[in-house]
Amino acid sequence: MRLATEADVPALHRLVREAYREHIGRGLNFTGTYQDEGITRERMEGNDVYLVCQGSEIIATVTLGRDEEKDGVFGLYVTQLAVTPMLKRQGLGRLLLTLAEERGREQGAAFLRLDTAMPATHLVALYQSEGYQVVDEVQWEGKAYKSCIMEKRL
């Protein structure tokens, strides 16, 4: 596992697009379903992008960014969790969520937050099984669905 660099953008872009492709058929236009290398690069800016590699191939990723809250208490926002399709359901997603918790604790974060499409009930259930709770709902601009904001206290 390592942090991504600018040189990883093309491979990271391909991984995210492949991992999110399954959502297109469900009518869920996650950013990962259509992002190009420019959006991939933008989403890396100011964030820590962790890569799981098998040899030189990137097989999974998660992005962690700082998420502010009132009174100086902060958390980390978990985004772009992606696992190569042929390796899904083998624990890599959970490994990356555990990494997010470890990094959050190391940095003194009070919580982790993420969002996912409400119709993606399998993802909501996955995050709930990892201790996340739905704390809010939001309709992101340009999305064909409502998202739930989920949070896990550290």
- Spell out the domain ranges in the chain: 2-153
CB atoms within 10 A of CB 121: 10
pLDDT in tens, 3-55: 999 999 999 999 999 999 999 988 899 999 999 999 999 999 999 999 999 99
CATH of domain 2-153: 3.40.630.30
* Under 8 Å between Cβ of 104 and 151: no
Q: What is the reported pTM?
A: 0.92
Q: For residue 82, what are the contacts with CB-CB under 8 A and spacing of at least 6?
A: 15, 16, 19, 20, 32, 60, 61, 62
pLDDT in tens, 87-97: 898 899 999 99
Q: Two tokens at 83?
A: 């696992």
Using alpha carbons, select from 85, 82, 119 the residue that is nearest to residue 97.
82
CB atoms within 10 A of CB 140: 14
pLDDT in tens, 80-129: 999 999 989 889 999 999 999 999 999 999 999 999 999 999 999 999 99
